[in-house]
């Protein structure tokens, strides 16, 4: 009799613990619940503990005025769901409301918020031209050192040419 009671208790605990293990709950969100983001997210993702059904899920993202800012494109992929967002413009609290269905549990319903802090408007200053001095060489003056160097080189080239021609005449006259 005592074995029967213990066996029944173990069986009941096993049944209740397996149904509790199959209960769907939220694992993570992006943007993180309660966080502040400074760049406009392109989508909101929600990850759960169990595989979600392909049909019957809904996720709605609203701004502080209650206007929808999601684009309606809901993608379910296993344990995750993704909804695209329009480009966020206004700073403030955004609310994500969801109802997610799985094959093994009742709907997982809830909401979370995140804060969007829009960047300040950046004003671009137009470039201002500045006057700069450009040195222009004078056309009338020449560098005398360069002129002297060129004349000396021409003279040396002429001396080498005359020397080689005299040497060549001497060699060819012997033969």
Q: Which two tokens stand for residue 174?
A: 């012997």
Q: Is the dihedral of CA 43, 44, 48, 54 positive or negative?
A: negative
Residue in 146, 143, 135, 94 with CA at minimum distance from that of residue 117: 94
Beta bridge partners of 58: 99
Question: How does pLDDT run across 12-65, given as a tens digit for each residue?
Answer: 555 555 444 557 788 899 999 999 998 889 999 999 988 888 888 899 999 999
> Looking at residue 121, what is its pLDDT?
65
Let me know if domain 25-116 sits in CATH 2.60.40.1840.
Answer: no
Domain map (residue ranges) of the chain: 25-116
Question: How does pLDDT run across 114-162, given as a tens digit for each residue?
Answer: 999 988 764 555 666 777 676 655 655 556 788 888 999 999 999 999 9
Residue in 133, 53, 136, 37 with CA at minimum distance from that of residue 99: 53
Q: Is the dihedral of CA 169, 171, 173, 175 positive or negative?
A: negative
Question: How does pLDDT run across 76-109, given as a tens digit for each residue?
Answer: 998 899 999 998 888 899 999 999 998 777 888 9
């Amino acid at each position: 009799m005592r074995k029967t009671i213990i066996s029944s208790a173990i069986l009941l605990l096993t049944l209740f613990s397996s149904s509790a293990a199959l209960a769907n709950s939220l694992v993570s969100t992006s943007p993180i619940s309660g966080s502040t983001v400074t760049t406009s997210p392109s989508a909101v993702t929600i990850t759960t503990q169990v595989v979600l059904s392909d049909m019957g899920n809904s996720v709605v993202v609203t701004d502080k005025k209650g206007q929808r800012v999601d684009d309606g494109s809901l993608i379910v992929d296993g344990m995750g769901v993704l909804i695209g967002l329009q480009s966020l413009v206004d700073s403030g609290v955004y609310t994500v409301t969801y109802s997610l269905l799985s094959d093994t549990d009742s709907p997982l319903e809830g909401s979370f918020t995140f804060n969007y802090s829009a960047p300040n408007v950046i004003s671009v200053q137009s470039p201002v031209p500045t006057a700069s001095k450009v040195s222009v060489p004078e056309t009338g003056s020449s560098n005398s050192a360069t002129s002297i160097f060129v004349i000396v080189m021409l003279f040396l080239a002429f001396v080498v040419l005359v020397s080689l021609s005299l040497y060549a005449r001497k060699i060819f006259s012997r033969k």
